[in-house]
Each structure stands twice: as C-alpha cells, then as structure tokens.
Amino acid sequence: MRRICRYLPLFLLLFSIHFAHAQAGFDLNVGFGSAQDKALGSVDLNTLLPCASTGSTTCANTPSLSGFFLGFGGNLMLWKKFGVGADYTLQPAKTDYLVFQSQGVGVVGDKLQSRVGFYSFNGIFQPVNQKKVAVQLIGGIGGANVKLYENQSSSSSVLGNANQTQLAGSANHFQVHGGVGVQIYVTDHIFIRPEFDVRYVTNFTQYGRNVVTQEMVWLGYSFGDRP
C-alpha cells in the first residue's frame, strides 16, 4: 500500500490527461480541515504502554488527535452518478505526543512528536448532480500512518540551546473510509466541497479509539465535461 500511495500523484496526473480528452469528468483538488480522536490516556514513558498506576512517576498523558490537516485528491466521474477517487490527508506539522524529561524551569527537554496521515481509494455515488451542485456519497478502503519523532534538546555554555529531531518509528494501519460531501460550483470548472468523513482504523493504538472523524473543505478544478 505504501508503494501505491507513493505513485498516486503520477497515477492521477496520467488519468487526468487521458480522460480530459475522453470528455469524462475528472477533478483535482486540495483540502484544508481537521481530524479528531480521543487521547489514549496515561502511558509508561519506558514502554509506551498504558500505565497500571496513574500515580507512577514514569507515567505521562498523551494528547488527543486534533489540529490542522492538509489534503490532496482526485475524482474520476465515469458516469453521471458513479465514479472513483483517491485522497491523502496529513498533518503538515509535527505535534507533541510525550515529554520525557525537563531540563529546568521553563526549558522543555526530550520529547516524542507525532505526525498522522490517512489515504483512501474510494467509490463515489452522486444521487444529486446538477449544474451548480452535486451531492457525493463516498466509501472505500486505505490506510493510516503514524510517524513518531524523537526531539532532543540540549543546553551548554558553548553551544547554547540546541534541538535535534530524528525519526523514532512508524506504524501503518488498515482503514475503512466513508463520507459525504456537497460539491458547489463557483464557475463551470472551479468548485468548493465541504466534506465530513468517518474513518475506522484497525488497531489504532496510538489513540483512544479506532473511529476518527474528519472535516475538510476541498477546493478543486474539474477537467473535461461533466457527465
């Protein structure tokens, strides 16, 4: 699945060129929004497993999943009501996941940071497809990726304060995706699509539940003629 995701932009570009000439409806879009999942809770800093005792000095609380997500995607409408698509959304910036130690008052020490991404390959059903608006029901499968980074801080009289970040690990999970969007055409080709998604991520142990909700606003351009 990782290899498929790597070549997804090239795949979408080739399809856009081919089907634009074939007079099929092909959309390319970029999205902005957020995703939510509850926090895992208190974990042991040595094992990253849930703490048996919340009063332990080696325990720390993990954050919930939230914050800004950036997305890229494309849809190919082969018929008036049916099509296929793919999307990839991710956190462009790392977020703090755990703080291991403090170097002093007001100085944060070593910490673990995270970055979450989701990708999906979808089928699309449009029960409403008019000139200015289309309603899309979306469903498919894909994956979720969680990358963890170790951020190390140091302080000395010679170098001052310094930070170093390196990849600590990466986890991949299978996911099932469903969503609904309303595609509003500003012009004959430019559209805005508010979309609400639900993702069921198997064994999403970095967070408190397997169900992730997501809200995105997609801005896009339609090539060719709409069926």
What total of structural domains would you count in the chain?
Answer: 1
State yes or no: pLDDT of 177 exceeds 60. Answer: yes
Does this model's pTM top 0.85? My answer is: no
Q: What range does the domain containing 29 cover?
A: 2-223
pLDDT of residue 16: 47
* Strand partners for 70: 32, 90
* Distances in whole angstroms, Cα of residue 81 to Cα of each of 74, 133, 140, 217: 16, 13, 16, 21
Q: By the 8 A CB rule, do 124 and 137 touch?
A: yes
The domain that contains 20 carries what CATH number? Answer: 2.40.160.20
Q: Are 25 and 79 in contact (CB under 8 A)?
A: no
Q: For the segment 30-70, what is each residue's pLDDT rounded down to a tens digit? A: 999 999 999 988 888 777 778 876 667 778 889 999 999 99
Structure tokens at 44: 């042991």
